Structure 1
Amino acid sequence: MLLKRIPVLLLCLWSLSLSAQDWNKKKCAVVLTYDDALHVHLNNVVPALDSLKLKGTFFLTAAAPAFAKRLPEWKKVAAKHELANHTLFHPCEGNRPGREFVTEDYNLATYSVRRIMDEIKMTNTALEALDGKKERTFAYPCGDTKAGGVSYLEGLQNDFVAARGVQTEMVSLQTPTNLHLIGCYGVNGQTGDELIALVKQAMETNRMIVFLFHGVGGEHGLNVSLEAHRQLLQYLKQHEKDIWNPTFLEAAQYVKAKGTAKK
């Protein structure tokens, strides 16, 4: 009787093995995203990624000085990494707690959907002028998905393959994923060990984790030290046989191809 069950057991083990290697034949996916077009991204992050041949996605605010004044450098970045859309002026809802930094001119609560979509489309044009690409991804500034109290999430779906929110979550291929509101883990002050622990959790549960960075070695109130960032990147490189490191666009396309994107 036991001999008859062995083929079934082997099939189950084989199936489990496949599911555990389901992220492009790796145990998990780790997506590195960097918001707001900061000088430290060009000065610190890109050299660190390139030294280890890792990929990053840069959600760029087109009016940011580090974007507008350093266009030739961003064009070079596009050869190895993803240039993604983070709006023209980074408007956020200014009537929420802790939003004192939001100016009256760029208060998303007073925007129309038409205005935010026009600014987003203009940013797509600027990015295409640099990298020549049509397919693009988006990140909601401050995670806000409404303009003047009206959701603009659906309006994005014809212009973007996927969009990143700010809700804390990892992505599983076993459950449906809303490609236009993918969650992430925001980084602010964590140690290298704490960041690596999250990657280990993604490996153990066969999920995708998207990291959201702002400052890396300074320049932003939400910041991670250069050492912590370096330790994370080194861990990803050392375990590349188990960890897939796609851009946000590549990861979203993979989830869509797997058929687990919400319709």
Structure 2
Amino acid sequence: MKKLFVAVCCAFSLLNAVHAQTNAAWKGKKAAVVITYDDAIDQHLDNAVPVLDSLGLKATFYLTAFSQSMQKRLNEWKNLSVRGHELGNHTLFHPCVGNMPGREWVSKTNDLNNYTVKRIENEMLMTNLFLQSLDGKTKRTFAFTCGDMKIADSSFINGMKKDFVAARAVRNEMHKINEVDLYNVDCYVVNNHSFEEMKTWVDKAMQTNSLLVILFHGVGGGNGLDVTIENHRKLLAYIKQKEKEIWVAPMIDVAEHVLQWQQQNKK
């Protein structure tokens, strides 16, 4: 009986140690969540930011520097940094590979098939300089436009790693901290999902001790990849409700934490 008691105690101690070590990966929380918005559109300022600020949540806005909204409402975008949100790099003109299904909207000028690696690098660096003029910061994260990572057969991020702490892709996946590739960070793309569908992503992140990155485009309009204002609000409220179990932070903060953790836990 005594041996059984000792064995049970040892098992509980081991489980607690594993649980503590796992949670320590995300600053004592079960998971990390990064909320991102792409393309710098009016609906982010009008429909997303007020909800974020009312809940005290900080997000990452991947800004296309020459977007229509940026041209008209520059001071409002600049003010996001003052309120604790991250201004991320989403290129100067939002180029994408044009010869793919559903890409008819890509102009010849902004078709990555017509780019060189040097051209995309220069435009990314120009966008970094533009963003620095808004928030005064030199550390930056990047989001691939349309998830496109190559010029012909060349992965252009390889030569830009010194300029970015991390880069976000667009696959619907999540990973534990030791599995995160900082220059190919996965995310879940919101495409007219219901609150219940998006809630399962948050629950899965907590269950698997993973990093969940959520990507919004339209919020109550502005992009075909949309979410209703109500479902957007419900999801953010649910994330806030779970804040004792979830570390919610901009991509730059999470990426720097992941980098430090991975360096300290190299095998």
TM-score by length of 2: 0.94
What's 1:233 paired with? 236
Q: Distance in 2 between matches of 1:14 and 1:193?
A: 31
Q: Distance in 2 between matches of 1:209 and 1:3?
A: 39
What's 1:182 paired with? 185
Q: Distance in 2 between matches of 1:149 and 1:12?
A: 48
Are residues 1:168 and 2:172 paired? Answer: yes
SS of residue in 2 equivalent to 1:223: coil
Alignment check: 8 A CA contact 1:109 1:149 kept: no
SS of residue in 1 equivalent to 2:193: coil
- Aligned CA-pair RMSD: 1.7
SS of residue in 2 equivalent to 1:106: coil
What's 2:148 paired with? 144
Task: Say which of 24, 27, 39 aligns to 2:27.
Answer: 24
SS of residue in 2 equivalent to 1:68: helix
SS of residue in 2 equivalent to 1:259: helix
Deviation at 1:12, TM superposition (A): 0.6
SS of residue in 1 equivalent to 2:262: coil
SS of residue in 1 equivalent to 2:126: helix
What's 1:81 paired with? 85
1:140-184: CA deviations, max 9, x gaps?
0000011244220201201000000012210202x4321000010
Q: Distance in 2 between matches of 1:20 and 1:218?
A: 39
What's 2:37 paired with? 34
Q: Distance in 2 between matches of 1:45 and 1:205?
A: 28
Q: Which runs of 5+ in 1 are unaligned?
A: none
Q: Distance in 2 between matches of 1:31 and 1:131?
A: 20
Q: Distance in 1 between matches of 2:227 and 2:55?
A: 19
Equivalent position amino acid for 2:155 in 1 = S
What's 2:210 paired with? 207
Equivalent position amino acid for 1:170 in 2 = M
Are residues 1:128 and 2:132 paired? Answer: yes
Task: Say which of 216, 224, 230 aligns to 2:219.
Answer: 216
Task: Say which of 90, 95, 100 aligns to 1:96.
Answer: 100
**Structure with the bigger percentage of strand:** 1
**Structure with the bigger percentage of helix:** 2
Alignment coverage as a number of residue pairs: 262
TM-score by length of 1: 0.95
Alignment check: 8 A CA contact 1:170 1:184 kept: yes
Task: Say which of 182, 196, 202 aligns to 1:193.
Answer: 196
1:17-36: CA deviations, max 9, x gaps?
21442311111111100000
Q: Distance in 2 between matches of 1:10 and 1:188?
A: 42
SS of residue in 2 equivalent to 1:181: coil
Q: Distance in 2 between matches of 1:194 and 1:243?
A: 18
What's 1:49 paired with? 52
Alignment check: 8 A CA contact 1:110 1:148 kept: no
Equivalent position amino acid for 2:114 in 1 = T
Give the ranges of 4+ consecutive aligned residues of structure 1 lying more than 3 Å apart after TM superposition: none
